[in-house]
Amino acid sequence: MTTRLMRSRTDRMFAGVCGGMAEYFAIDATIVRLVFALAVLSGLSPLIYLILWIVMPEAPVAASEADAQRLQSAAEQPHRYDPYTGQPIQ
């Protein structure tokens, strides 16, 4: 299976660029974030990060993440009430 460089959905602080690079190179995301933070001193790091954010596709949603998002959206829905009795429907 080939691995692609994609932004991470699970290991993200801002846009998932560093998390995606860490997954691609199989290293800790903290190391990648530290390299980007140290590269800020050169002045190119924010520009490179923005370009990577635009260019890198976002990783697809895994089945377990899709289930978690579905359950979260169901929990955020307003309560429904029976129109005749006014009691909440569960």
Region for 67 from its dihedrals, namely left if φ exceeds 0, alpha if ψ lies in -120 to 50, beta otherwise: alpha
Q: Which residues of the chain have pLDDT under 70?
A: 1-2, 62-79
Is residue 84 a part of any domain in this protein?
A: no
Is residue 69 a part of any domain in this protein?
A: no
Is residue 79 a part of any domain in this protein?
A: no
For residue 56, count other CB atoms closer than 10 A to its CB.
Answer: 19
pLDDT recorded at residue 1: 44
Structural domain containing residue 31: 1-58
Is residue 83 a part of any domain in this protein?
A: no
Cα dist. 14→8, 17, 19, 49 in Å? Answer: 10, 8, 10, 10
pTM across the whole model: 0.58
Q: What are the structure tokens assigned to 35, written together?
A: 């390299």
Number of domains in the chain: 1
Is residue 35 a part of any domain in this protein?
A: yes
Is residue 78 a part of any domain in this protein?
A: no
Is residue 21 a part of any domain in this protein?
A: yes
Is residue 85 a part of any domain in this protein?
A: no
